[in-house]
Amino acid sequence: MKTEEIIEAAAAAAREKKAENPVVLDLRGLSSLADYFFICSGKSTRQVKAIAEEIDATLRAGGRRPVRVEGLAESRWVVLDFGDVLVHVFLEEARSYYSLETLWGDAPRSGNGELGMGNGE
């Protein structure tokens, strides 16, 4: 799967589980962590876990396994590492607290979890 396909599949899976406020941050040239962050949130730890598991299952079905998954047991902030894309699924309160969108404020961003929306691409 190409990077764009990973993000599109993650966004579709997140929408399936009613994730809120999906955002893509384009970190190319800003970070060596990943090229993109896909960020979304859920209203409860149960929903966060369901969103993360759906994203994982969808991408595995497409032949892409995460390098690492962190935070699934607590389900306040789950990170799925797909190499060039880091998927962050937050509990709403944790997302506000850690505020990755502010921390990476210089990164072009796209709404609705889609590439090319609002970032000049």
- Reported as a single tens digit per residue, the pLDDT across 12-23 is 999 999 999 999
- Domain hosting 60: range is 3-104
Query: H or E element: which one contains 3?
Result: helix 3-16
Domain count, the chain: 1
Q: Would you say the C-alpha torsion 65, 68, 73, 76 has a positive or negative sign?
A: negative
At 54, the amino acid letter reads E
CB 56 within 8 A of CB 82: no
Domain contains 112? no
CATH number reported for the structural domain that contains residue 90 in this entry: 3.30.460.10
Confidence of residue 113 (pLDDT cuts 50, 70, 90): low
Residue 105 tokens read as 């404020």
Per-residue pLDDT tens for 71-109?
Answer: 999 999 999 999 999 999 999 999 999 999 999 998 998
Q: What does pTM read for this prediction? A: 0.90
